[in-house]
Amino acid sequence: MSVEAFILCLDDVLIDSVAEPKSVRLVTIRDDINAAIDGAVQKGIKLALVSGMVSHNVVVACEKAFTRDFIKIFSVVVPCDGLGLSELPLMERALLYLGVSAECAIAIICNEVDAIAAKDAGISRHWHLDVPEERDAW
């Protein structure tokens, strides 16, 4: 099955841990995410960002951990407080807005809650940010 979408899951714990000055985790995770996103963009893969944070905090967190323009890379940003369809879980909303089936998506996750949410949304492929071997598997 081909990959049509990457869904990046960011939470405040990840942002806080990677935003520490001189953090090895910051460099590794930021480089891995940027490489995955660059590769996806070159292949025409759609990108979504989901977060349990509210809209303003998502923007601030992305600027803090990555760059000012990082959030602009994504076709869809689904914070916990916006974009309607609030009865749907975040990942399902992202899939709906992207127009991509769960079978054609990969979730880039940072915790077990995100892994469960991806599974509940029908996304069977994921890459945990702290397990680079998972990224290499796809």
Checking if the pLDDT of 137 tops 60, the result is: no
Nearest one of 56, 87, 59 to 74, comparing CA atoms = 59
Checking if the pLDDT of 25 tops 80, the result is: no
Number of neighbouring beta carbons within 10 Å of residue 104: 17
Q: How far apart are CA 117 and CA 52, in angstroms?
A: 11
Mean pLDDT of the chain: 84
pLDDT band of residue 113 (cuts 50, 70, 90) is confident
- For range 3-30, the mean pLDDT: 76
Token pair of 126, please? 């994921």
Phi (first) and psi of residue 107, to 5 degrees: -95, 130
Q: What is the pTM of this model?
A: 0.84
Which pLDDT score, from 0 to 100, does residue 126 have? 84
**Number of C-alpha atoms within 13 angstroms, CB side, residue 126?**
26
Could you tell me if 54 and 80 are in contact, meaning their C-beta atoms sit under 8 angstroms apart? yes
pLDDT band of residue 92 (cuts 50, 70, 90) is very high
SS3 5: strand
Dihedral through CA 40, CA 26, CA 117, CA 51, nearest 10? Answer: -90
Checking if the pLDDT of 138 tops 60, the result is: no
Q: How far apart are CA 102 and CA 113, in angstroms?
A: 17
Q: How far apart are CA 120 and CA 83, in angstroms?
A: 20
Q: Where are the domains of the chain?
A: 5-137
Checking if the pLDDT of 22 tops 90, the result is: no
- For range 74-96, the mean pLDDT: 83
* CATH fold for domain 5-137: Rossmann fold (3.40.50)
